[in-house]
């Protein structure tokens, strides 16, 4: 597997390598959503409104999601920096 685009924060949509660039783009969006869900869940847990069972289920689901994401990153040869987009003056996406 080719290593991911080395220039941090740029999605590689080179026509000869479009598949890989697309995978990077899709995984970036998924990772963003995963992190939003995770942060929201942490807030809910810290808010103290969930039962132990709900916390357990939520925690396990998020853990599985995180593991799955790690697998996908490995399959596509991407690391955390590749799943981040440079938004210029706004900073990084994640």
Q: Do residues 85 and 11 lie in contact, with contact meaning Cβ atoms separated by under 8 Å?
A: yes
Distance CA 45, CA 1 (A): 39
What's the first-to-final CA gap in the chain, in angstroms? 25
CB of 45 to another protein, least distance (A): 5
Q: Considering beta carbons, is residue 3 or 59 the nearer one to another protein?
A: 59
Q: Considering beta carbons, is residue 32 or 58 the nearer one to another protein?
A: 58
CB of 9 to another protein, least distance (A): 8
Which positions lie near another protein, rule CB under 8 A?
A: 8, 38, 41-42, 45, 52, 55-63, 66, 86
CB of 26 to another protein, least distance (A): 24
Q: Considering beta carbons, is residue 23 or 62 the nearer one to another protein?
A: 62
CB environment 1-17: b (16+ within 10 A), e (fewer): eeebbeeebeebeeeee
């Amino acid at each position: 597997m080719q290593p991911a685009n080395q220039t941090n924060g740029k999605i590689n949509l080179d026509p000869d390598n479009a598949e890989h660039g697309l995978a990077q783009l899709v995984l970036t969006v998924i990772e963003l959503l995963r992190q939003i869900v995770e942060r929201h869940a942490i807030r809910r847990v810290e808010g103290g409104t969930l039962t132990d069972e709900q916390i357990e289920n939520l925690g396990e689901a998020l853990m599985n999601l995180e593991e799955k994401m790690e697998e996908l990153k490995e399959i596509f040869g991407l690391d955390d920096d590749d799943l981040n987009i440079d938004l210029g003056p706004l900073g990084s996406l994640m």
